Amino acid sequence: MIPPNAWHSIGYSKEFGVGQLVSVRLLGRSIVVYRTGEGELVGIEDRCSHRFAPLSRGRCEGSSIRCMYHGLLFDRDGQCIEIPGQRSIPPRARLRTYPIAEQGGWVFAWGADDVAADHSSLPDFLSLDDKDFVFGTGKIDYEAAAEQVNANLLDFTHAAYVHPSSFGSSEESWGQARCSIKSVENGLSIHWWVPQSLSYDTPGVQMDAYVDNYLTYDYTVPGHLSMWARSYPAGTAQRLDFGAPDIQPLVTEYSGQSVCATGDRTSRYFYVWGVASSLPDAQGVIADRLAMASRAFEEDRIMIEAQQRVIDETPGDIPMIPNAADKAITLFERLMMKTSHQRQAGRKADVTKAAAIL
Ligand code: FES
Ligand SMILES: [Fe+2]
């Protein structure tokens, strides 16, 4: 279940130039998003009120948008303000708008029109403007529901089987891995010790072939992952009895990832990787990391889309049988359900209030 009353990732700031019309999909609907001359982002349903031509094939005029089929002009609130050759404008010629938020180089749309946008629930990604890091960004479209992509990111044990050739993950190292899960505001905080992992080539850093990796990430509704990956000399996890390390890591890297439910059975996955800008040839390092991550996420796509096809042909009365590694998935599904129910409860309260007034 994907709650609409949440901030859904729709792109990176750099993709929205002034006056450029970008059509994105969210929860089965198309939204046209554009940046006004003042630099603000506007989101309006991508459907002209006249004969339903997509506004994304239109023209931005200051903070308004003109449909380029018969020329209707809509302001940033979705209200039609001009019909060529006609003086009166029906008030019903009004389109749904979407609250759009921009933070740290990411762009989000609030998916519910019956619950006010809550800016306190924006994900806490490391800003892409952070000068201590250089970043690479990417995205992949899936022919699979966002729920399956969320589940993939909430259970990293799949790395041993899906990513041995890209991330170099092995069954031996993941067989020794230990995970802890805590609740945080709007999500889960997940910590993994993964001993004896193959180290990545990092110029200027002396590392052995194997390191112990400590991965810590918050996973928040409706599918935002903000992760720090720190590498330590092999043996550190054992020495600390798998406790949280308070020593300097050999390498610290960052990844922000986000799953957007574009439809019931389609999703878009955004991923950012960051390495320290102080590394020699940091740009070369990030290019390598991004190429590796893109290969790995393509491996995920192939598996998840195949899984989705099996889910679709499986009768609804056959349940999935969870195992211990599914704990985070189960907890997160409950959180998503709770968020959806909060919306339904709010709508019920509104109906009751309206009835009381009548
Ligand atoms: S469909 Fe947009 S103006 Fe006619
Ligand atoms: Fe994966």
At 128-163, the pLDDT tens digits run: 999 999 999 999 999 999 999 999 999 999 999 999
Q: Report the residue among 65, 69, 94 best suited for mutation to probe ligand 1: largest number of ligand atoms under 8 A from its CB.
A: 69
Nearest ligand to residue 164 Cα: 2
Answer whether 276's CB lies under 8 Å from 115's CB.
Answer: no
Residues, beta carbon < 5 Å, ion ligand 2? 300
CATH number attached to the domain at 133-332: 3.90.380.10
User: Given this model, what pLDDT does residue 48 score?
Assistant: 98
pLDDT of 348 strictly over 90: no
pLDDT at 246: 94
* Rounded CA separation 319/236 (Å): 40
Q: Give residue 221's identity as a one-letter amino acid code.
A: V
Dihedral in degrees, nearest 10, Cα atoms 222, 220, 257, 292: -120
Least confident of 9-13, 115-119, 294-298, 352-356: 352-356
Task: Judge if the upstream peptide bond of residue 222 is cis by omega within 30 degrees of 0.
Answer: yes
Cα of 31 from ligand 2 centre, angstroms: 29
Q: Which atom of ligand 1 is nearest the CA belonging to 83?
A: 3
Give me the residue label for tokens 């007034």: 357
The span from the first CA to the last CA of the chain, in angstroms, equals: 34
Reported as a single tens digit per residue, the pLDDT across 279-315 is: 999 999 999 999 999 999 999 999 999 999 999 999 9
Q: What is the mean pLDDT of the chain?
A: 95
Closest ligand to 46 CA? 1
The Å distance, Cα 69 to ligand 1 centre, comes to 5
Q: With 50 as the cut, is the pLDDT of residue 358 above it?
A: no
Q: How far is the CA of 10 from the centre of ligand 2 (A)?
A: 21
Read off the DSSP letter of residue 14: G
Whole-model pTM over 0.85: yes
- Where b means 16+ CB within 10 Å and e means fewer, 188-198 reads bbbbbbbbbbe
- Fold (topology level) of 7-121: Rieske Iron-sulfur Protein (2.102.10)
Domain boundaries, the chain: 7-121, 133-332
Q: Does residue 76's CB lie within 6 angstroms of at least one atom of ligand 1?
A: no
In this prediction, residues 211-229 reach a mean pLDDT of 98
DSSP letter string over 89-131?
--TT-B--EE-EEEETTEEEEE--SSS---GGGS--PPPTT-T
The CA distance from 122 to 102, in Å, is 9
Cα 246 to middle of ligand 1, angstroms? 61
* 321 C-beta neighbours (distance < 10 Å), count: 6
* Alpha carbon 124 to chain centroid, angstroms: 12
Asked if residues 24 and 49 have their Cβ atoms less than 8 Å apart, the reply is no
Q: Is the pLDDT of residue 343 over 90?
A: no
How confident is the model at residue 352, as a pLDDT?
57
- The ligand 1 atom nearest the CA atom of 53: 1
